[in-house]
Amino acid sequence: MPTYEFKCTNGHKFDRYLKLRDYQEPQWCVCGAESTKLISIPMITPSFEAYESPIDGRPITTKKARSEDMKRNGCVPYETGMVENNNQNLRNEELKLEKSLDDTVDSEISKMDSRQHDQLESSLKAGVDLEYNRN
């Protein structure tokens, strides 16, 4: 519903929310006096709050500037669920990496001759510490 501004014959000003069908109906002030509708400047509130680009420090004062800044820096607008989706993708990649590592270790162990296999088994039973090195 639109907001209309009124002024009564006693000088009181007030706002009133009216349905479009009721905007021509006479309005009365709380003091009881009849009121007339005022023509006033509409209130426009910006839907964008200025900030500095966190990447390059440039002032971002409009939606267009924000869009250009994001494009220039290879960013995308945040959408609900993006963090959860990204975290799930990271978990999937970690699981894939672990499986690949396990498969590689199993493959290398299967290539060992019986003497190497026995040495590895005795080392593991003795409690040797293993370090993984990526090459």
**pLDDT digit string (tens) for 57-78?**
999 998 899 999 999 999 888 7
Give the domain extent around 31.
Answer: 3-37
Whether residue 25 lies inside any domain: the answer is yes
Whether residue 20 lies inside any domain: the answer is yes
Average pLDDT score over the chain: 88
Whether residue 66 lies inside any domain: the answer is yes
pLDDT bin (cut points 50, 70, 90) of residue 134 is low
Total of domains in the chain: 3
pLDDT bin (cut points 50, 70, 90) of residue 14 is very high
Whether residue 134 lies inside any domain: the answer is no
Whether residue 109 lies inside any domain: the answer is yes
Whether residue 115 lies inside any domain: the answer is yes
Whether residue 130 lies inside any domain: the answer is no
Residue that wins the pLDDT comparison between 114 and 135: 114
pLDDT at 129 over 80: no
Residues 62, 51: Cα–Cα separation, whole Å: 9
Reported as a single tens digit per residue, the pLDDT across 24-33 is: 899 999 999 9
Whether residue 131 lies inside any domain: the answer is no
